Structure formats: structure tokens, C-alpha cells
Amino acid sequence: MKYSGFSKRHNELRRHILKGFMALPAAIFLSTSCIAATPPTSEISTTGLAVTDDTVTVGILHSLTGTMAISETGAQEAEKLAIKQINDMGGILGRKIEVIQEDGASDWPTFAEKSRKLLVQDKVAAVFGAWTSASRKAVLPVFEKENGLLYYPTFYEGLEQSKNVIYTGQEATQQILDGLNWVAKEKKAKTFYLIGSDYIWPRTSMKIARKHIEKVLGGKVVGEEYKPLGDTQFGSVINKIRLKKPDVIYAAVVGGSNVAWFKQLKAAGITSKKQTLLTISVTEDEVLGIGGENLEGFYSIMKYFQSQDNENNKKFVAAFKEMWGDDSVIGDVTQAAYLGPWLWKAAVERAGSFDVDKVVAESEKGDIELTTAPEGYVKLHKNHHLWSKARVGQWKKDGQATVVYTSELIEPDPFPAGYQ
């Protein structure tokens, strides 16, 4: 496996892995066995992708630097784990997967530039990457123009469906609406204060949340604030929250800003003993930087938590820590990123081709499922999103969450009526 744009930390990790690596469990996912006869390249790649008789090249595009690195590091680690496991099983269509990695550097024009390089210059067969909606929106025109295929792992606001994107995270109905329903019922919440980072995902998410609070739940939004991405000054917002005394602080603060946000809340005496807070943007990856003691007792609404007690997840967590170290943590987006290479593998093998149009056609049949996903079970819908369950986790001091609510399997609906 080859990498470009690798950080020093990851090179050190890779050398450590190569020195002392023990075989990872090869059958964590699909039971597809290694193909006995390798089909000729001319049959499985007809559009000039980077496919040889022995290899197929893919791209990984996440922020390794900048304010979003705190959130995105785990995603690229999970994607590499999945690729390692697939290669251990013999690869895809008899080809081992090679990786070209690029750093989006928490900068949306850089994401667009790097995606163009991966698709036009490197001719990768698929890209696993992006995190924020801003980065996804930046690369989307490139993928659509060049007919590339992106596996996007982050929970997001919905209101999008592209032929060139497979969305492995939750859309709004699977996170925002279900979480608000839970907190209104369980906490008898009527008043809400909305706070988010200032870009497309938090703003669109809060528009959806406000509509649901006011028109469905019969509640009231008593405040709404946005802070620049990377901002660390929350004093004025916290003062307003203290004055308004909302039943729920509903938060979509993103990336490194979360560290300052939760530390300043605690310093101001706003803790779970006095205040209910539900966030749609904090996973174990962020808690590692925030510190569990700074958000103990607060809630997140996700589809996956590392603490989930099932055999699939136990194998996944063990394999992840084997590859990336015992101190590694696994958040919602990290797990969703892990699904990407496996979903791609399933579609490619069904299509018998790496050609994007053929892979997409198989993906759109709506019957690709992963029964051994760490979150439990997922199925790819015809609309390019996943059927999955919503879960509410309550954070503990050790940085892990206790799952206090699990929904039924939710059909993805990226364009819900009344919220567009």
C-alpha cells in the first residue's frame, strides 16, 4: 500500500505496524471469498481508471491539519483499516488496493483542488473522504464533472442526493428529528437554545431543528447563535444562555472549537447537574480533546458509540486498536468511514467492474447490506444513503458514552416533506 501526503505521526504508526503487526481478523465483514480467477483488466476497467493486473488505486481525502484534524483523523484511520482487511482477504477482483492520501487541511478550496488531483491526475477508482458539509459541497462539482465516486462518512443536514456520492453517515431525519423527539419526551423540554459553528451544516441543521421544535413539538427557540469555525470565545453566548435558561442547549459546534466551548461551559457552572445539553456534533474523537470531565452527563445523538455491546463491534474495536494503538478512540464518523470501503467492495464485485457507472448501478439496487457492521446492521438505500438506527449516548468522565436510547431502523429520507 502506498501513501502520499502522510503526516509524520502516521508514518511512525505505519513503521510500528509493519514491525510488529499481527494478522487482523479477515472476516469481520462480508463473507465474500477471494476470487479464484483474476479477470483481465480490459474487462473490469474500461474508463481509464488506475487499475492494473495486480492493483487498484483509491484516494483518501481528509483534514490531517487545521481545526478539523481533531475530528477527521479517526475517519482516515478507519478507512485504512478496512482497506488493510480487504487486502488481507485478497483484494477486490483479484487486485490489491493501493492508497493515495491527500490532506484537505481544513480548507474547502484545498479539498476541491485535491479531489481534482485524485480524479484527473491519479485517476483513482473511488475516494473515501471529506467531513464537513462545506468540504463536501466544495468537492461535489468536481466529482460530478469528472464522474468520480465519493464515499462520504459524516452525519449531515440531508437535502442532497448525488449520483457520485454514497452517504454512509446519517441525514437529518435519522439524527436531528429523532434526537429532538427523544429530548422533548424524556426531558419534557419546551424551550431550546441553538448554538452552532458558522457554515452550511450547522445553519441548515438548525433551520430543520427550529421547524421541528416549533411546528411539530410545539416548543420555542429562545436563542440562536453561530460562531466562526475554529473560534474559541464563547463567553457572550454563555451569558445569554444563563439569562434565557432554556430547557435544552441544542449544539452543533464543530471541530477544535468544542474544546473551548465545553471547558467554558463548565467554568461558568453550566453542567449536566443543572442543564440538559444535546449535541449533534460530538463523538468520541472530539471528547478525546475536550476531556470527559468537561461534558460528563451531557448527551450526543449519533448512530454509533464505541461502547456498543455487540460481537461485531468488539471485533472492530479490537482490530482498530491493534492497528492504531490501545489509546485510540472510535467515534460515529470513524465507524461510518469504515463502512465505505466495504460497501464499495460489495458493489464492485457485484458489477464485476471498477467503472463508476456500473458500481453506482449496483449500489442503486437497494439491496447491498452489511450484517456485520460495527453499529449492528446497515443497508444501502436506492437514494445512496443507509438504513440505520439512531442512538442517544450520555457522556461519562472516562470519555465513553452510555447508550440510553436506540431507535428502530430508520429509512433514510434526505428530502423530508416540510423541511426543505
The verdict on 177 and 166 lying in the same domain is no
Q: Domain for residue 184, yes or no?
A: yes
* pLDDT band for position 6 (cuts 50, 70, 90): very low
Question: Which domain covers residue 326, as residue numbers?
Answer: 48-170+309-384
SS3 category, 221: strand
Helix, strand, coil % in the chain, rounded to nearest 5:
40, 20, 40
> Under 8 Å CB-to-CB from 404, ≥6 apart: which residues?
299, 392, 393, 394
Same-domain check for residues 277 and 406? yes
158 in the same domain as 91 = yes
Q: Are residues 269 and 401 in the same domain?
A: yes
The reply to whether 96 and 146 lie within a common domain is yes
How many domains does the chain fold into? 2
- Is there a domain that residue 209 lies in? yes
For 202-220, what is each residue's pLDDT tens digit?
Answer: 999 999 999 999 999 999 9
107 and 226 both lie in a single domain: no
Q: Is 48 exposed, middle or buried (0-12, 13-18, 19+ CB in 10 A)?
A: exposed
Are 217 and 266 part of one and the same domain?
Answer: yes
Which of the four pLDDT bands, split at 50, 70 and 90, describes residue 70?
confident
Whether 363 is covered by a domain: the verdict is yes
- Judgement on whether residues 200 and 212 belong to the same structural domain of the protein: yes
Do 282 and 184 fall into the same domain?
A: yes
* 182/132 same-domain check: no
Q: Beta 369-370 vs 299-302: how paired, if at all?
A: unpaired
Residues 287-328 have pLDDT tens digits of: 999 999 999 999 999 999 999 999 999 999 999 999 999 999
CA 202 to chain centre: 15
11 part of a folded domain: no
CA angle 205, 210, 214 (to 5 degrees): 155
Task: Give, in order, the Cα–Cα distances in Å from 231 to each of 159, 235, 273.
Answer: 27, 11, 26
Question: For strand 369-370 and strand 378-380, is the pairing parallel, antiparallel, or unpaired?
Answer: antiparallel
pLDDT tens string 216-246: 999 999 999 999 999 999 999 999 999 999 9
Q: For residue 205, tell me if it sits in a domain.
A: yes
79-127: pLDDT as tens digits: 999 999 999 999 999 999 999 999 999 999 999 999 999 999 999 999 9
Q: Which pTM was predicted? A: 0.88
- CA 72 vs CA 113, 135, 318, 335: distances in Å: 18, 12, 20, 12
The reply to whether 32 falls in a domain is no
**Cell reading at 253:** 459546534
Cα 63–chain centre separation: 13
- 108-116 helix and 133-146 helix, angle to the nearest 10 degrees: 30
> What is the CATH classification number for the domain harbouring 272?
3.40.50.2300
Do 118 and 151 belong together in one domain? yes
Chain-centroid distance of CA 41 in Å reads 32
- Residue 319 lies inside a defined structural domain of this protein: yes
> Which helix (H) or strand (E) segment is 58 a member of?
strand 55-62
Between helix 200-211 and helix 172-186 the angle, nearest 10°, is 50
Q: In sequence order, which residues have a C-beta less than 8 Å from that of residue 117 and are 6 or more positions away? A: 102
**297 and 352 housed in the same domain:** no
Residue 98 lies in a domain: yes
Give CA separation, 89 vs 26, 51, 82, 85, 292, in Å.
6, 18, 11, 6, 38
